[in-house]
Structure 1
Amino acid sequence: MRYFIELSYNGKNYHGWQIQPDVVSVQEKVNHAVSTITQQKIEVVGAGRTDTGVHASQMFAHFDIEKELIGDVPHKLNSLLPRDIVVYNVFQVNDEKHARFDAISRSYEYKIWLGRNPFLLDFSWQIHSQKIDIDLMNDAAKLLLEFTDFQTFSKVKTDVYTYNCDITEAVWKQKGNELTFHITANRFLRNMVRAIVGTLIDVGLERIDKENFRKIIESKNRSNAGLSVPAKGLFLTNIKY
């Protein structure tokens, strides 16, 4: 039997989703909780990987067991998990349904706070006393929908079969001092969203213009793009199947 888990987590204390030697990951904690309640060694498969310090307001994972789960499974898991990881739902699916490969889109948000706010230090990148032109950034962001090869924004040392991604949404929204970048695609490269945000900030600060942004994408060279903004402002927000 295959089950899906819907969960969220604060990524501050974790070296990302994926299990790695000698560091703490979200997947490790979920594996332990599911293994405990099922009394089997379970390795959950996530819908994707988030990097160190990145948050997820919605993540899915799946696992296989031989016996049907009974009782309030989310409650059982949450009683075993740290408080910065929360399970909302556990449900049975078709045995062929895959948390990663069957996802048709993923959405991220990146949050920037203009000024200082001590209550948002762990959940936003705070930019002090700088005027950013959101209209310029949105104009440049539209170019992302014209391209499919995003090698420019990929981490250099990464093993991928293709740099192609189909971006269907890329827009900045402002509410008071909070700027939020919304981006949706069928898949993302490692560090891609943070590199895109860093480069679009250069547009908003008028360090580069829209045509420079286009040339940066076309160059397929990471060194031409902007900085990789801090992980703490990035949230995986929605996965569609």
Structure 2
Amino acid sequence: MRYFIYISYLGKGYSGWQIQKNGYTVQQVIEEALGKLLSRTITISGSSRTDKGVHATQQVAHFDSITPIDPVHLTYRLNSVLPSDISITAIRPVVEAAHARFDACHRRYAYTIITHKDPFYRDRAVWLRRTPPLGLLNQIAALFSVQADFEFFSKTTDATRGFICNIEEAAWVAIDDKIVFYIQANRFLRGMVRTIVGTILKVATGKMDSATVAELIQKKPNTRPILTLMPAHGLTLVEVGYPPSLFVQQNVS
């Protein structure tokens, strides 16, 4: 039977989500914990590849079990053995062919900026001494609410499925002494959100004009511009959405 596992983690102590040869990753830690509790080798496949230092309040992965499990009980057992910076929030049975990455309808990220030094946010937000007006930030962010080729806003190595993304939301929100950039799309490219945030701030501070941004999105000039990749620790994967038809009811005796 196949299950979706919902995961929350702080990314500071890990070399990103995906297993790699020379780094300690979130996927590795969870696979080891599942293997220990289920007494067999378990491989999980995630919805998104968060980079080193990036966080998640809702990462989703799928795994298979040859015997039915009690999701509530396994969730508790996993949280008992996982480190304090990783939490399992739910395990849900899904149809056999469900895929955490390819069946996702949308992914939503948040990039958090604090306007004064706060030790409680030092690993989860970027501190900027001054920030542009919220209205100006949203005016620039609106340029990105399109379906387009975002190759210039991604790391050049990511060409697996092309560069077309449909951005459904791109907006800044003021929350207390923080400003948070929310962006939702059907898919994202590597480094895309952090590059978009850096570009918006660059335009808002007069270091780039909005016409240049529009050209990068719509016309793809021959010269690749130098864009700013914001620090990883300000970024959080906050939601992954799926069609309700993927989920099934399970009776556990």
Call closer, same or farther: CA 1:118–1:28 in 2, change over 3 Å: same
Amino acid across the alignment from 2:177: N
Alignment partners' CA distance in 2, 1:3 and 1:222: 45
Letter in 1 for 2:167: I
2:140–2:204 contact (8 Å) kept in structure 1: no
Q: Which residue of 2 aligns with 1:122?
A: 123
Distance 1:222 1:3 in 2: 45
Cα distance in 2, alignment partners of residues 225 and 183 from structure 1: 22
Q: Structure 2 vs 1, CA of residues 82 and 221 (structure 1 numbering), >3 Å: closer, same or farther?
A: farther
Deviates more, 1:218-227 or 1:186-195: 218-227
Task: State the partner residue of 2:95.
Answer: 94
What secondary structure does 2:67 align onto?
coil
1:27: how far off?
A: 0.2
**Counterparts in 2 of 1:11-30, with a 5 A limit?**
11-30=11-30
Q: What is the count of residue pairs matched by the alignment?
A: 240
Find the counterpart in structure 2 of residue 163 from structure 1: 163
The verdict on how the C-alpha distance between 1:221 and 1:39 changes in structure 2, with shifts beyond 3 A counting, is farther
Counterpart AA for 2:80? S
Aligned to 1:52: 52
For residues 207-226 of structure 1, the aligned pairs below 5 Å read 207-217=207-217, 218-219=219-220, 223-226=224-227
Shift of 1:146: 3.2
Q: CA deviation at 1:208?
A: 2.2
Cα distance in 2 for partners of 1:175, 1:35 equals 40
Among all aligned residue pairs of Structure 1 and Structure 2, give the percentage whose two residues are the same amino acid.
38
Match for 1:113: what amino acid? I
Residue of structure 1 in register with 2:201 after alignment: 201
One-letter code aligned to 2:230: V
Where does the alignment leave 5 or more consecutive residues of structure 2 unmatched?
Answer: 243-253
What aligned pairs does 1:149-188 form with structure 2 within 5 A after superposition?
149-188=149-188
Contact 1:116–1:126 (Cα < 8 Å) also in 2: yes
SS at match of 1:51: coil
C-alpha distance in structure 1 between counterparts of 2:86 and 2:199, whole Å = 31
Contact 2:171 2:183 in 1 (8 A): yes
Q: Look up the match of 1:40.
A: 40
Deviation at 1:97, TM superposition (A): 1.1
* TM-score of the two chains, using structure 2 as the length reference: 0.90
- Of stretches 188-197 and 143-152 in structure 1, the one that deviates more from structure 2 is 143-152
Contact 1:152 1:221 in 2 (8 A): no
Cα-to-partner distance string for 1:152-177 (whole Å, 9 max, x where unaligned): 10102334231000000000111343
Which residue identity is paired with 1:175? Answer: I
- Asked if 2 retains the 8 angstrom alpha-carbon contact of 1:134 and 1:204, the reply is no
Q: What is the RMSD of the two structures over their aligned residues, measured on CA atoms? A: 1.6
SS of 1:22's equivalent in the other structure is: coil
Deviates more, 1:195-204 or 1:170-179: 170-179
Q: Secondary structure at the match of 1:166?
A: strand
Task: State the shift of 1:135 in Å.
Answer: 1.7
